[in-house]
Amino acid sequence: MNFNLNQWFAENVSEDTLFYYKGSVGSKRVTDILEKIEAIIDEKDFPLKERKKIVNILIELVQNLYHHGEKFEIDNEFKSYGSIIFTKDSEGIKMLSANFIKVEKLKVFTDYIDHTNSLGPDELKSLYRKVLANRHFSEKGGGGLGIINMIRKSGNKLKYCSQRTEGENFFLVLSVKI
């Protein structure tokens, strides 16, 4: 079955969704998204501990889209594309990010998530400190620090799924629960 972006979006936005966005992700848009989410969090009066975790994780997810989202054809134009869905329901808080990723990057990325998911809290702490202290990373890439951060801060494994789209891209969805 062919991948359908609008269908995926419709299936993942519910009446419990507090915020959603799909579209191009430039620097200004990153600021807008984060400001809107913080306004919603203020309005909903989340406890400070939860609020800080949500904002920290959403900063990682949104900026990850900005740095790594592959371009996608929207309205006959190729733009960096990303999607964010922030939901609170009876099971807790769920944050989804989705973007297109080239096939050659997908395996490396998901292998790293699998490895990081397999670690316990103390191992995660050690890995975080090791990566921060030793690994050289660029403006764009955090050497995997963002993944470790999200798992550490959420206290849960980082879930993902991917689906092949037309061409060489996959559609990758990351899901963080707290």
Partner 1 sequence: MDTLIIGSSSKTPKVVFDADKGELLLEGRSIPENSIDFYVPLMEWLEVYSQEVKTETVVQMKLEYFNTSSSKCILDFFRKLEIISKRGHKVTVNWYFEEDDEDMMEAGEDYDAIVGLPFMMVEQKEA
Q: Which residues bind partner 1 (CB under 8 A)?
A: 27, 30-31, 34-35, 47-49, 52-53, 55-56, 59-60, 63, 66-67, 125, 128-129, 132-133, 137, 139, 142, 145-146, 149, 152-153
H/E stretch holding 4: none
Task: Tell me the closest approach of the beta carbon of residue 61 to partner 1, in angstroms.
Answer: 11
> Cα separation of 17 and 30, whole Å?
19
Q: Do residues 19 and 84 lie in contact, with contact meaning Cβ atoms separated by under 8 Å?
A: yes
3-state secondary structure of 12: helix
Task: Tell me the closest approach of the beta carbon of residue 88 to partner 1, in angstroms.
Answer: 19
Terminal CA-to-CA distance of the chain, rounded, Å?
32
Q: Which residue number, 63 or 117, has a Cβ lying nearer to partner 1?
A: 63
Task: Tell me the closest approach of the beta carbon of residue 120 to partner 1, in angstroms.
Answer: 15
Task: Tell me the closest approach of the beta carbon of residue 63 to partner 1, in angstroms.
Answer: 6
Q: Which residue number, 153 or 157, has a Cβ lying nearer to partner 1?
A: 153
> Cα separation of 101 and 108, whole Å?
11
